């Protein structure tokens, strides 16, 4: 038998969601059975899976001890690098400049050293996070950026901030701006690209169409040309929709693929120039809340920008095309 007292970070969750995180060794089928047969109670009363937990609620679990994992003094995230590029930090969030080549989350190629494990190590060593003090919450990333793209990633330090930002992201109450370098020059120096995108899940590749097709989703890509040199263009992009590989595929579909993009790009030209990494960076973020944001209201209207985009200065200086190797950081 074990009792959990619901903390502020645990509050607001459904009972089944909380148990899945707090007692991951308990199979879902047994969890549902134990809730139904009153072996799991909330405030000494029978509950159901959809019961919303409040701060200081008591969850009693009359189940075998084998389902409760023993305390582990070692945490995998302590194996992660200590290096973090912090753009902004307060008591609720971190804004991080994720570099090209770093995974946002663990996958089959890398488990220990990712952006989220670095965040956990940083907060743990700072004293802002200790797994022993949490039943179900862990610091989490709100958005993610592909391994081969760099830029701003938001990390939430507490559950309330995470819930608010996840909803704001879904409701598109944040403006995300990217810098990229494309092949060629655009006739219109600013405008809005529209189209319809389909994704091949097996190949992890998308295709853009001019008109709606079965299974496609609408995409909108706003752009403005900043500079042009040697048959290349430095472009600022604002995503009005957020689809997989949207910027890369959209510019490729109009004959202006990103420099260094091996999947949607012009490999022959990239090889001649010696570039193997895509020139794309999520460099600016603005919070544009249209509805109340609770503890994060103070962020509304604020804009944040990374101090250095690895290819911007070289492009403007005119030294980009004379270089034969890409500098990623």
At 45-101, the pLDDT tens digits run 999 999 999 999 999 999 988 888 665 557 889 999 999 999 999 999 999 999 999
Q: Tell me the pLDDT band of 109, cut-offs 50, 70 and 90.
A: confident
Q: What is the pTM of this model?
A: 0.81
Tokens 């994720």 map to which residue? 98
Q: Where are the domains of the chain?
A: 2-67, 76-170, 174-317
Convert the pLDDT of each residue in 131-152 to its tens digit: 887 888 999 999 989 898 999 9
Q: Specify the CATH number for 174-317; select among 3.40.50.300, 3.40.50.720, 3.40.190.10, 3.30.2350.10.
A: 3.30.2350.10
- 76-170: CATH topology: Pseudouridine synthase (3.30.2350)
Domain 2-67 has CATH 3.40.50.720: no
User: In the predicted model, what is the mean pLDDT of residues 105-123?
Assistant: 92
Residue 312, pLDDT > 80, answer: yes
Is residue 103 within 8 Å of 114, Cβ to Cβ? yes
Q: Where are the beta strands (DSSP E) in the chain?
A: 2-5, 40-42, 45-46, 58-61, 86-89, 93-98, 140-141, 150-156, 174-183, 190-200, 205-209, 217-229, 232-239, 280-287, 303-305
Query: What is the sign of the dihedral through the CA atoms of 313, 317, 318 and 319?
Result: negative
Please tell me if the domain spanning 2-67 has the same topology as the one spanning 76-170: no
Q: Which of 147, 83, 89, 96 is nearest to 307 (CA)?
A: 96
CB 183 within 8 A of CB 232: yes
- Mean pLDDT, residues 166-172: 95
């Amino acid at each position: 038998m074990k009792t959990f007292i619901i903390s502020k970070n645990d509050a607001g969750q459904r009972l089944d969601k909380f148990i899945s995180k707090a007692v991951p060794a308990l199979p879902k089928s047994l969890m549902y059975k134990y809730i139904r047969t009153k072996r799991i109670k909330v405030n000494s009363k029978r509950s159901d899976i959809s019961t919303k937990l409040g701060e200081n609620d008591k969850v009693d679990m009359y189940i075998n001890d084998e389902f409760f994992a023993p305390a582990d003094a070692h945490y995998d995230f302590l194996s992660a690098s200590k290096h973090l590029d912090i753009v902004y930090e307060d008591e609720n969030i971190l804004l991080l400049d994720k570099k090209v080549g770093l995974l946002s989350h663990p996958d089959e190629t890398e488990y220990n050293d990712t952006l989220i494990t670095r965040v956990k190590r940083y907060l743990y060593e700072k004293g802002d996070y200790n797994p022993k003090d949490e039943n179900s919450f862990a610091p989490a990333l709100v958005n993610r950026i592909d391994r081969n793209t760099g830029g701003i990633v938001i990390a939430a330090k507490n559950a309330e901030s995470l819930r608010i930002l996840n909803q704001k992201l879904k409701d598109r109450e944040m403006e995300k701006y990217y810098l990229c370098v494309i092949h060629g020059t655009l006739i219109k120096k600013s405008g809005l690209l529209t189209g319809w995108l389909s994704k091949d899940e097996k190949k992890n590749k998308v295709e853009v169409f001019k008109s709606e097709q079965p299974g496609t989703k609408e995409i909108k890509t706003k752009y403005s040309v900043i500079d042009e040199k040697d048959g290349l263009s430095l472009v600022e992009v604002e995503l009005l929709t957020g689809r997989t590989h949207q910027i890369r595929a959209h510019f490729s579909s109009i004959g202006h693929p990103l420099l260094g993009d091996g999947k949607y790009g012009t490999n022959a030209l990239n090889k001649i120039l010696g570039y193997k990494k895509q020139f794309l960076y999520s460099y600016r973020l603005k919070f544009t809340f249209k509805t109340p944001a609770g503890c994060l209201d103070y962020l509304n209207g604020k804009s944040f920008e990374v101090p250095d985009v690895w290819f911007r200065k070289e492009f403007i200086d005119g030294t980009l095309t004379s270089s034969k190797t890409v500098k990623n950081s």
